[in-house]
Structure 1
Amino acid sequence: MWKSLELARSELRLELTLACGQSFRWRETAEGHWTGVMRGRVWTLTQIDNRLWYYVYENHRDFTHRKWTKKDCEPETKHKVHVKAEAHACSDGEKLLNDYFQLNINLEELYKDWGERDAHFKKLAETFSGVRMLRQDPIECLFTFICTSNNHISRIQGMVERLCHTLGNKLCQLDETSYHDFPSLSTLAESNVEACLRGLGFGYRAKFLQQSAKTILDSHGPHWLTGLRNVPYHEARNALRTLSGVGTKVADCVCLMSLDKPEAVPVDTHVWQIAKRDYKFVSCHGQKTITDKLHKDIGDFFRNLWGPYAGWAQSVLFCSDLKKFKNLKQRPAIQNLKREIKCEEDTDKEIVQRKQIKRENTKRKRDN
């Protein structure tokens, strides 16, 4: 059964938030419908006007993908009084969505603040509104981002899918696609995992995944990662960097996207180019590669510019610079062009209609 919650698109746009490289578990399975795994469940999400609709699939059964139709809102319409009376009590699904998308944070207010601080951000804000930071499971986020080293989004998606399909528990099958949960720490720490992942095309990353899982379990315990949510940003980042395959950028991604550290600004060559090109950032040391010092300098620059949620603001710029979204910048012009074409078509139709009426009137006069 489809359920929904009220949510403006300025507060969340699925097509940007789920496809900009934060999470690699979501696919657009139908136009405007996103299906993926979150919190051990399989979901389909879509947005209609100012509502976020969601469908949660049952475990261990076969289904077809559920596409939202107008009929899905009829039960809510028929029982408006009952729904209103129960509005104060969030469903389990709604609680999970609120936590995952951090809906307690007013994104419109943040955009307004960033736009007042930064003229360049303000130019992009309308086209790239609704980009939220996800609050992912720390284990999934960490081991996913270890896979991102020297990689690109589409290839990372394939690697994560193979990882989950091979080592994760099966949740359900939709049409011909099976969905699996993310592997547990104990599974990733097993001695044969490295060889298994090398066979799946993970290369040198296979060793990092197995070693990091083993280090966490042997030295810290299974709840250590989640506990890093309760320590200061720099302490959490330094702790993560003790793990195999975790450098400053990966540590910042995990801090920002799963450990409640909104001030974390992940810096890679892409972000460095944005800093140089759009903000005329020049390192006083003139590095040609990203050192820890340069990473800190760029992060501090953006934190001073955007404030305590600098990591959220940086994700908007990162999203706006991705090739897959370049056509978004052209949409207003395209929409205007379509309106102009439609106006021209309407005008042409009117001319044809007037000529037709004139011919018919002339014919009537002749006949009379």
Structure 2
Amino acid sequence: MKTITPSQFDLEQIADSGQCFRWNRISDYKYRIVAFGKILNIEQDLETGSVTMDCSDSDFDNIWKDYFDLGTDYGKIIERIPEDDEYLKRAASICDGIRIIKQDPWETLITFIISQRKNIPAIKASVEKICKAAGKVIGEIDGEKLYAFPTPKELAALSESDLSACSLGYRAAYIYKAAHAVADGAVDLDKWKELSDDKLFDSLCSLYGVGKKVANCTMLFGFNRLDSFPIDVWMNKIRDRYYPNDFPIEAYRPYGGIMQQYMFAYERSINS
């Protein structure tokens, strides 16, 4: 077991932020996370803010510390918000427990391709179906088998028909082509980590079925490009209501993606 007391860390806010689709609530402020071929049970004490994880010190140091971006001082990032940006200041003060989870680029790419025009429960259901169809069993809890996210080769072994059976609809073709591009070596996501933000964005958008939003989400949550600023229906509403001259993106750099998450989470919370 590992217990820490991080600042600017709220499990529920992170879980509800739409970043990741393999977090499952066990009970209030307790979640089971499947990532990097590991299973983590994590719980937060609301009174103290302390977080307890059922992992070894080695796994914490090598996986989870970086996954939760615990080396970044989000308090200092919040201090950078422009004084006259009243909406963002309010959003950050309410949603300051959000952190950008550092996910696997491959998994992030595929899950955000799946996310197009789907609500979060439907996304999670489809993700679990492809994991069950192609991923390896990594554990069993209460008689339920848990699966790792499939590698590109494992996913490429599925036919479009197999993928369609995972409730993917038109997205099955997108995922089929992405899996083969990576499995066959035409796309090297490790090399893409070295690209500039602009080149990475263009490279992601060159993939069949990947548009601006999916590319920006993949950059932010999979490649940890913290200046990526995804625009969706919620962000359009925020812009129209509070930023008539458009978002002051330049003022948010190099943390535009974090600022976007505060806005996104806050707006959803007050309109839920």
User: Do they superpose with TM above 0.5?
Assistant: yes
Give the partner amino acid of 1:107: Y
TM-score of the aligned structures, taking structure 2 as reference length: 0.92
Q: Which structure carries more helix by proportion?
A: 1
1:261 maps onto 2:225 in alignment: yes
Q: Counterpart in 2 of 1:111?
A: 78
1:233-312 to 2 correspondences below 5 Å: 233-281=197-245, 301-312=247-258
Residues 335-367 of structure 1: CA deviation (Å, up to 9, x unaligned): xxxxxxxxxxxxxxxxxxxxxxxxxxxxxxxxx
CA distance in 2, matches of 1:34, 1:327: 24
Q: Deviations over 1:292-329 (max 9, x none)?
A: xxxxxx6xx4422322101111011111122xx3499x
Structure number with greater Rg is 1
The answer to whether the aligner puts 1:218 opposite 2:184 as a matched pair is: yes
The aligned residue for residue 3 of structure 1 is 2
Name which of 156, 161, 165 aligns with 1:195.
161
Closer, same or farther in 2 for the Cα pair 1:13/1:327, shift >3 Å?
Answer: farther
In structure 1, which of residues 176, 180, 186 is the aligned counterpart of residue 147 of structure 2? 180
Q: Is contact 2:152–2:183 with CA below 8 Å preserved after alignment? A: yes
Distance 1:267 1:327, change over 3 A: closer
Q: Write the deviation string for residues 250-303 of structure 1: whole angstroms up to 9, x where unpaired.
A: 01111111112111111122211111112124xxxxxxxxxxxxxxxx6xx442
Structure 1: tracts of 5 or more residues without a match: 58-89, 282-297, 329-368
Q: Which residue of 2 aligns with 1:364?
A: none
Residues of 1 paired with 2:92 and 2:227: CA distance?
19
Question: What whole-Å deviation, never above 9, does each CA across 1:101-148 have from its counterpart, x for those lacking one?
Answer: 111111011112115352111122222111111110001000000001
- 2: CA distance between counterparts of 1:117 and 1:133? 24
The answer to whether 1:146 aligns with 2:146 is no
Read off the aligned partner of 1:132 and give its amino acid letter.
Answer: R
Q: Which residue number in structure 1 is paired with residue 26 of structure 2? A: 29
SS at match of 1:178: strand
- Correspondence for 1:129 among 71, 75, 96: 96
User: What one-letter code is carried by the residue in structure 1 that aligns with 2:207?
Assistant: L
Structure 1 residue matching 2:102: 3-state secondary structure: coil
* Alpha-carbon distance in 2 for matches of 1:229, 1:137: 11
Structure 1: how far apart are the matches of 2:229 and 2:15? 19
SS at match of 1:35: strand
Identify which range, 140-149 or 101-110, moves more after superposition. 101-110
CA RMSD, 1 decimal: 1.9
* Alignment match, 1:319: 265
CA distance in 2, matches of 1:19, 1:127: 14
The percent of aligned pairs where both chains have the same amino acid is: 27
**Matches of 1:95 and 1:254 in 2, distance apart?**
22
Higher relative contact order (CA 8 A, sep 6+): 2
Q: Using the TM superposition, give the Cα deviation of residue 167 of structure 1 relative to its aligned residue in structure 2, in angstroms.
A: 1.3
- In the TM superposition, residue 219 of structure 1 has moved relative to its aligned partner by 4.5
Contact 2:31 2:42 (C-alpha < 8 Å) held by counterparts: yes
